[in-house]
Structure 1
């Protein structure tokens, strides 16, 4: 039962990590409504592959090296911010060109390369693998419900998760996989029903990318000062 609970906890954790709004989901959304489910799924795969790369590097202890060089993070913020602004310009062009949902005939998809490049230069993603990710890899147990405010004592021992176990890690990446399959599918379903959905989502994606790009540039600049 502990292995099953650990796997389910990993799935929930993976979905919770992948689902929040941000530059990766903005690109997935843009690709899905402009070029169809396949393009959106490939964009999601780019972000997921970056997590696999960070997982392997964390396992080998390489990711921790970044923490020893404070100047690396500001550079990552600046590079990531510039990439987001560049991709935001492309999203604006997509929003202008898209008049309705398309089945994938509107040009070649670059979503995989976009999300992969952004993920590899994303300080927040690197920070996750330097902190929480390391905790996932270390062998041990975590009494999840014991931390619930006001009810932790009564729920203690009800949900034990084994950190560092294959079940948790498989569940974690399985949760991300569920998101990159279901999220584009939901967007495509909506796009087929509402003609204005594609240009609206592309415009929102551009706004999200531009906003995060400016934020990353500001943070990177401040850290250099």
Structure 2
């Protein structure tokens, strides 16, 4: 029993560590949270969560491997994702401007969910993750948990190595992502309630993150097609 609890906890740490670093998904979650509230922020997080769950299923049945094996697809995904990120960046800047007046309401309650789902579903990095590390969670072996964390993986490599091959580890992994989806918007909403004009600042920062990743993806896509 204690071993299962430990495995579940390690999986949750892994999921949290992958979900927490700054990036396009968290930029949209942050924007939705401070501009529209906790529930829209959670729905935005669920978009990325759903895409990860879908990738896992498609990888198990071999669909993702077939897609990834096509050399022309990856650059096109970069280009498509880059265009979307730039488009969402413009929307974030517009929302930030409106937020100086009041909280921004959306006529489409599912907008945040769709944004993160589409971005995650067209992200070559996430496809690559599920082809390698993701499915490896169910195969017998070992996993250097923190070595796969963006930005700090090289510094933390070797600090947490866990045996894979247990469904409990995968359950913990998705539980960790789910925990981030719930708590990150709550933290931002609480901060926005305490600090005046925090919403437009965070929305503007989200726009900058999306624009930066959009330019990066467009550059990588164009380079891949040359």
TM-score, with structure 1 as normaliser? 0.88
Partner of 2:133: 132
Structure 2, unaligned runs of 5 or more: 148-154
CA distance in 2, matches of 1:165, 1:61: 20
Contact 1:84 1:209 in 2 (8 A): yes
Q: Is contact 1:2–1:161 with CA below 8 Å preserved after alignment?
A: no
Indicate whether 1:142 and 2:142 are aligned. yes
- Residues 101 and 132 of structure 1: is their aligned pair in 2 closer, same or farther, counting only changes over 3 Å? farther
Residue 143 of structure 1 and its aligned partner are, at CA, apart by: 7.4
If you compute each CA radius of gyration, which structure gives the higher value, 1 or 2? 1
Question: In 2, Cα distance between the equivalents of 1:85 and 1:93?
Answer: 13
Per-residue Cα deviation, 1:117-138 (whole angstroms, up to 9, x for no partner): 0000011111111111121122
Moved over 3 A (4+): 104-109, 159-162
| Structure 1, gaps ≥5 residues long | none
CA distance in 2, matches of 1:121, 1:63: 11
1:161 Cα deviation after fit: 3.7
Q: Which residue of 1 aligns with 2:108?
A: 108
Contact 1:141 1:160 in 2 (8 A): no
Quick check: 1:100–1:191 contact (8 Å CA) kept in 2? Answer: no
Q: Deviations over 1:78-105 (max 9, x none)?
A: 0000000111111011000002673x74
Tell me if structure 2 keeps the 8 A contact 1:5–1:161. no
Residue 200 of structure 2: aligned partner: 199
The alpha-carbon distance between structure 1 residues 105 and 169, as it changes in their structure 2 partners (threshold 3 A), is same
| Counterparts of residues 2-81 of structure 1 (less than 5 Å) | 2-81=3-82
* Number of aligned residues: 214
Kept in 2, the 8 Å contact 1:33–1:101? The answer is no
The verdict on how the C-alpha distance between 1:199 and 1:94 changes in structure 2, with shifts beyond 3 A counting, is same
Name the residue aligned to 2:224. 223
Please provide the CA RMSD for this pair.
Answer: 2.2
User: In 1, distance between residues paired with 2:22 and 2:29?
Assistant: 11
Residues 116-195 of structure 1: pairs in structure 2 closer than 5 A? 116-138=117-139, 140-142=140-142, 161-195=162-196
1:175/1:215 Cα in 2 relative to 1: closer, same or farther (>3 Å)?
same
| 8 Å Cα contact 1:32/1:184 also seen in 2 | yes
User: Are residues 137 and 58 of structure 1, via their aligned partners in 2, closer, same or farther at CA, if it must alter by over 3 Å?
Assistant: farther
Separation (CA, whole Å) in 1 of partners of 2:143 and 2:225: 40
How big is each residue's C-alpha offset from its partner over 1:46-98, in whole Å with a ceiling of 9 and x where there is no partner?
00000000010111122111232111100000000000011111101100000
